[in-house]
Structure 1
Amino acid sequence: MTDKERLLEKYLLKIAENLDISPTMREKAEKSYRSVGEWLGDCDVNSDVKIMPQGSFYLGTVIRPVTDEDEYDIDLVCLLKNATGKSEAEIKRIVGNRLQEHKTYASMLEPEGKRCWTLCYEEFHMDILPCVPNNRYYIEPYLTEINLTHKLESGRYIPKYSNPYKYHEWFEERMRVRLDEVRKDYSIRNQVEISKVPLYKVKTPLQRAIQLLKRHRDVMYDKLPEARKDNAPISIIITTLAAQAYNNEANIYEALSNIAQNMPKFIKRSGDTFIIANPVMPEENFADKWNENQDKAREFFRWLESAKIAILTDPINVQGLHKVSEALEVCFGRNIVRRSLVDDGHDTKIARENKTLYVDGLIGGLKTTPSQTTRKVGGHTFFGN
């Protein structure tokens, strides 16, 4: 890596850290979905109910919204294990009725969605997906496919399937080398068993790269006309293609460079038909909406080209720290970039004063947290000694 690339890597890492939701926000979200889970656990006396997270919250790729007016989302699966004999409409109604029975949840509940029931909290919204096992039984880690309650505008339900549990396993495996490293570092620093370190407690270059790509998308489409905003690339496509392209790079800059270059290789096309298969359920096509509206496909490639230039090319080509900052503000937003650069300078100053500044090999740059590949930077009195 060149000096400019190392500098950009440092800033991208700090920006990604600031994209994370705060520990307070996460704690509030976790408490909320546990409470909802306990309430829904009794929604059907004849069903064994299991509540589990899915989506970005589950994968450790959730990001803060662009503005205070926006909300982040939490996705939950409400699995009625013993209700495979019930119709999709009945399953959906069971969960909705139970939420209506709770005085607080009833006031937070939005009208029925295509697949989910949504609860609106002050800082986030919670999408709850009613479903049943696809193979009569749900047994982790063997039988984990679910049958969704997918409702068309006509009111008719059609078969839709997914497998959040297996997707989570696949996602972890795509970054296994780096995930094992950061989990080991975390377990040593916090004196906990590696097996008990949850995914959201640590971040690999893949997770950070996905956070940055999603933030660039959110900023890019924030002020565009609604027609284009409606066609913005969806998170599951960005996440899946990024994970497929990732090659266990050790830092964010190299991970982003590889991912941005190679994401299109994992999009299959036959004529006007696009296929981005769910890697754990090939019959589920994440690009099915592209085939209904080709503008969505065109918008994806337009966004990806913009991300390459805005995140990787422009900040490298400009001269001066203020120009680098301006380039990054275009990608990720002014406030978060300026806060990240201030945080970086403050952290480095404090670490040097406390003699807790580390260098990662010959190319990794300065860091304020130790790892298996870092060594401590010696003290400096600035008197020439």
Structure 2
Amino acid sequence: MKNTKYSNLVISAIEKRDAQVQKTLRKSLSLESFQDSGYILEGLAEDIQMVNDHIKVDEEVFDEASSDYEKIANKLVEKLNWPNDSIRIIPQGSVSTKTLIRSPDNSKFDIDAVCSVDLSMIEVNEPMDFYEKIGSALATWNAEPKKRCWKVDFQGRRYYIEFTPSTPLDKVPQSNSGQISFTPTNRYRDKALAVVDTPTKQWKTSNPEGFSNWVSDQSARPLLQWLIQKSIRDSYSAESVTPVPEQEVKISDTLRVAIRLLKRHRDMAVRRNFVEPELKPISIIIVTLLTQCYEGLADKGAVYTHPIELLIDLVELMPHMVEFIGDKYWIANPTVEGENFAEKWNENHKLKQTFDIWTGLLLEDLNSIMSANDHVSRRKIIKEVFGCISAQSPTTPTEGGGLAPKQPTKPHVAPPSRGLA
């Protein structure tokens, strides 16, 4: 067992979780009859894989994205006369971590990309000059300026691209080197970039490639007994990161499946009117907390016989991985020193209250699934909770979107004095 930050957080989270909830969730997994227990586990695994397959994005989307990345790079070369080898397009966010899901109503989703430009090869010094030059080259597509990126909405696509101008951290012009906000951590330091933060008009450290490598490396650590045995035999190793990673993920990759399921559950919580859209937990928080939890379990030597057991632990422990430092909620970016993904929680407490409401609903729904008396009932609940009622593209709230929207029941409403606005 390794005594690490995340293993200590996991130990603390284990102490904080509700013992009664823990007992209830595991009741179906501790039957005296191994045969019956195995049947339940395998049935659950099939159901979870069914949800995972339903919410994944078609592979052709990533072929389109690769083509669009190339179009953008070519446009930058054409409009700005920059050398071909000065530009590198790097997928980031859900695409790079292989956790992208489609929305319950099949609305457009974002695919994030970073444009890493070697500034030593072009004539740019000031961060805003660099940012504006990128925007001018993307004018063909009426790119919309955002805080740190340009939003490019290709006509006829099922997605839009949020395109972030950046440069390798060691390529920032010397005249601006003292203005960089945050510093990279030692983890994946060689992948660190500087992006333009338009509100401050300064460079800010970012590390999307390092972050996706972190998720990939932790996901590859075997916590399932049969994968541990396989790693001993076959020298099990982490997957490599590809330009646009294939999104096929099986339940044995429990970390990524957990991320996908929780993101989908969050989206369904919005659709069912338990959570207001503008207050829903952002994906980076879900990904970070789950990956921290997974790393902590791996560091403390946890071993599981089945993915469902691991999945339940991740769901139960994840809310308790949030740190409280001083008087602030804290979810640290593992690749950028001092960056707090929960920063807005400290400015708007409704965001944290909504996170608590959502995680409470998540545990209640998981309890309903685990308490189902038979496979048919359980699958019906799973389909409703995760919005897998129909295999067709949803057109109404009850066609492919799961449970029809409704007003939240009292257990999910925050206290009146601090409730959702």
Deviations 1:349-384 (A, max 9, x none): xxxxxxxxxxxxxxxxxxxxxxxxxxxxxxxxxxxx
List gaps (5 residues or longer) in structure 2: 1-28, 30-36, 174-187, 231-237, 299-303, 394-421
Give the match's secondary structure for 1:21.
Answer: coil
Whether the 8 Å CA contact 1:4–1:316 is kept in 2: the answer is: no
Question: Which residue matches 2:350?
Answer: 295
How far is 1:35 from its partner? 2.3
| Aligned residue among 122, 131, 135 for 2:170 | 135
List gaps (5 residues or longer) in structure 1: 186-193, 340-385
Deviations 1:202-242 (A, max 9, x none): 521111111111000011112438x8221111111101111
Deviations 1:83-138 (A, max 9, x none): 696222211101110111x3xx24xx3x3111111112330010000122333369
Q: Which moved more, 1:314-323 or 1:163-172?
A: 314-323
Question: Which residue matches 1:147?
Answer: 194
Question: Which residue matches 1:315?
Answer: 369
RMSD (Å), alpha carbons? 3.2
Call closer, same or farther: CA 1:15–1:49 in 2, change over 3 Å.
same
- How many positions carry a matched residue from both structures? 317
How far is 1:323 from its partner? 2.5
Which whole-Å CA distance do the structure 1 matches of 2:72 and 2:305 have between them? 38
How far is 1:201 from its partner? 5.1
2:91 is the counterpart of 1:50: no
Which whole-Å CA distance do the structure 2 matches of 1:302 and 1:158 have between them? 36
Question: Which residue matches 1:332?
Answer: 386
Which whole-Å CA distance do the structure 2 matches of 1:46 and 1:36 have between them? 13
Question: Which residue matches 2:279?
Answer: 231
Give the match's secondary structure for 1:135.
Answer: helix
2:210 is the counterpart of 1:166: yes
Higher relative contact order (CA 8 A, sep 6+): 2
Letter aligned with residue 27 of structure 1: D
How far is 1:252 from its partner? 4.0
Which whole-Å CA distance do the structure 1 matches of 2:189 and 2:292 have between them? 23
Whether the 8 Å CA contact 2:47–2:379 is kept in 1: the answer is: no
Call closer, same or farther: CA 1:179–1:142 in 2, change over 3 Å.
farther
TM-score, length-normalised on structure 1?
0.73
Call closer, same or farther: CA 1:237–1:195 in 2, change over 3 Å.
closer
Question: Which residue matches 1:66?
Answer: 104
Question: Which residue matches 2:68?
Answer: 32
How far is 1:261 from its partner? 1.9
Which whole-Å CA distance do the structure 2 matches of 1:46 and 1:39 have between them? 10
How far is 1:274 from its partner? 1.0
Deviations 1:324-345 (A, max 9, x none): 2332133211435899xxxxxx
Letter aligned with residue 40 of structure 1: L
Whether the 8 Å CA contact 2:56–2:247 is kept in 1: the answer is: no
Letter aligned with residue 14 of structure 1: M
Which whole-Å CA distance do the structure 1 matches of 2:90 and 2:215 have between them? 17
Q: Which moved more, 1:162-171 or 1:330-339?
A: 330-339
